[in-house]
Amino acid sequence: MSLLFEHYNYWVAIFLMMTGFYTVISRGNLVKQVVGLNIFQASVFIFYISLAYVDGGATPIVKEGVEVYANPLPHVLILTAIVVGIATTALGLALIVRIKEAYGTIEEDEIREADQRDGKDSDA
Amino acid sequence: MATAPRKTVSTGGAVVEHLIVVVLLALLASTAVAVIRLTNLFAVVMLFGIYSLLSASVFLVMNAGDVAFTEAAVGAGIATVLMLSTMALCAPREMPSRRNKPLRLLLVALTGAVLVWGTMDLPGFGDPSAPANQHVAPRYIQESPREIGIPNMVSSILASYRGFDTFGEVTVIFTAGLGVLMLLAGRRRKKGGEES
Amino acid sequence: MTRQPVLHVTAKFLIPLIMLFALYVQFHGEYSPGGGFQAGVIFGAGLILYGLVFGVEQAQRVLPLGVLRVLAALGVLLYGGVGMVSLLAGQEFLDYGALSADPVAGQHLGILLVELGVGITVTAVMVIIFYVFAGREKT
């Protein structure tokens, strides 16, 4: 039982991670897959920040009379990762827009069919 | 289990903090499930904005003010705008996928089970003696006010102790911006034109 | 852009506040939560709000894409430049202690400049991304 109280943060992070993972592998829509990847990414953020959390600790800004602080190092890593994450997400979305313009669809199944059709045409 | 019995901080504040975290995490999990199940992409994007805002609240409760800040501005603000503008250029609805769902669900459940098994040895949530809180963190907390002279430890680690790392991150952001420019800002090719 | 008085008035009220807040986060980041990354996304969000409400063409008249491209590179250059200055002063790359006779004052200056570089690049990249997405026409 104490395991439940001490580890629920990890388990929720794993649940969110698997939700994102499932979205990526089970859905064919590219925008949905990017959203899934972002959910996956946010779960990693929550995992890191929960590692940094210290019971009774304060936000890591020096203050008179405070001795226990949360661990500032994971905060730094995740802070930069969030901004890098949005920049790379934007790159992924830009690729989706180009795929839509080239294929007329953003469904992976249809893209694959179109590719196979093209392949047969060029073989003939 | 390697977790040594530790003295729990039995103040009311810590219990309330944990309660808030539990409620927020439950909301996060249900939002994530709703995101999978919906096929209307507009609703998916809006729910994703809520998901980001909720995770920003989780960060705030976990004493990560700087991170909460960034996540709120990025996730609920900029990411939503970008995804909406992508949707405006693409289809607003998702087509049902023909993939084998039970098999994939099984794969995901197995992976998740292995990961949960892996957490058994991890130190407890909020444990001050966890290895992650023992390595360089105490040095940063104790020495950075004297060495760097600024109160915000996150800033001093970000810009000074790990300045090299941050330089790399800024370069990644710059490169991603260049990539988006190259992909979308160029002149559009005519349809059915010189496609090789 | 159709005339939407409520949106216009609210945006005109909010945008200066958002930008002022971003500047506070940028330059007060050493004492309170904040820094270049946060300030960059907040400032970018203010400009994006302007673009959403008043149209991308209007936003590009205020802040052209060419200027943003230069700014994005300038931020990275400022960061790297601080590193080079400390290198030329005989210290290691990005060791801000070299920027001033007093190491702690040097750290202050170095962090301020580096965070400014981060803020400029992040703002510029966020707005660039918004411009090219919103300016693209549907096929």
- For chain B, domain boundaries: 11-96, 128-186
Tell me the mean pLDDT in the region A76-103.
92
Q: A-chain residues within 8 Å CB-CB of C129?
A: 87, 90
Calpha distance A95→A30 (Å, rounded): 10
Domain containing residue A45 = 2-123
Q: What is the CATH number of the domain that holds A40?
A: 1.10.287.3510
Helices (H) and strands (E) in chain B, counts: 8, 0
Separation in Å, CA B174 to CA B116, B166, C68, C72:
37, 12, 11, 7
Number of domains in chain C: 1
**Average of pLDDT values for B177-196?**
69
Contacts of B69 in chain C (CB under 8 A): 25, 33-34, 38
Quote the pLDDT of residue B188: 59
> Does ipTM come in above 0.85?
yes
C-alpha triplet B85, C130, B186: angle, nearest 5°:
95
Contact B149 C110 (CB under 8 A): no
Q: Do the chains contact at A83 and C132, CB–CB below 8 Å?
A: no
Q: Is B158 within 8 Å of chain C by CB?
A: yes
Spatial distance between the Cα atoms of B148 and B162, rounded to a whole number of angstroms: 13
Q: C133 vs A97: CB contact, 8 Å cut-off?
A: yes
**What is the structure's pLDDT at A122?**
60
CA B135 to chain centre: 23
CA of C6: how far to CAs of B54, B69, B148, C11, C55, in Å? 28, 27, 47, 8, 15
Alpha helices in chain A (DSSP H): 2-26, 30-52, 72-103, 108-123
Q: Which residues pair with A69 in a beta bridge?
A: A58
**List of residues 6+ apart from B166 with CB closer than 8 A:** A80, B158, B159, C79, C114, C118
Contact at 8 Å (CB) between B72 and B52? yes
**C51 burial class (0-12, 13-18, 19+ CB within 10 angstroms)?**
buried
Could you give the dihedral angle defined by the CA atoms of residues A111, A113, A117 and A122, in that order, rounded to the nearest 10 degrees? Answer: 50
Percentage of the residues of chain A whose pLDDT score is greater than 90: 55
**Half-sphere exposure (Cβ direction) of C124: Cα atoms closer than 13 Å:** 28
Do the Cβ atoms of B78 and C126 come within 8 Å? yes
C37 touches A83 (CB < 8 A): yes
Alpha carbon distance B74, B80 (integer Å): 9
Q: What angle do CA A117, A121, A123 make, to 5 degrees?
A: 115
pLDDT given for residue A12 in this prediction: 93
Full residue range of the structural domain in which residue C73 is found: 5-135
Q: Across the interface, do C38 and B66 touch by the CB < 8 Å criterion?
A: yes
The verdict on A62 touching C (C-beta cutoff 8 Å) is no
Q: Among residues C44, C14, C53, C8, which one has the least CA distance to residue C119?
A: C44
| pLDDT tens sequence across B100-121 | 888 999 999 999 999 999 998 8
Please indicate if any CB of chain A lies within 8 Å of the CB of B54: no
Q: How high is the mean pLDDT of chain C?
A: 90
Q: What is the pLDDT of residue C53?
A: 92
Q: Does an H or E element contain C19, and which?
A: helix C5-27
Q: What is the pLDDT of residue C91?
A: 83
Cα dihedral sign for C64, C70, C73, C75?
A: negative
CA closest to A79 among chain C residues? C37
Q: What is the pLDDT of residues C40-92, one digit of tens each?
A: 999 999 999 999 999 999 999 999 999 999 999 999 999 999 999 988 888 88
Give residues with Cβ within 8 angstroms of B127, minimum separation 6. Answer: A6, A54, A55, B3, B6, B133
CA dihedral (A97, A103, A105, A109) positive or negative: negative
Distance set, CA C100 to CA B147, B156, B160, C105 (Å): 14, 17, 15, 6
| Predicted local confidence at residue C58, as pLDDT | 92
CA distance A19 to B23: 18
Pair B74, B94: CB distance under 8 Å: no
Total tally of structural domains belonging to chain A: 1
pLDDT tens digits, one per residue of A60-83: 888 888 888 999 999 999 999 999
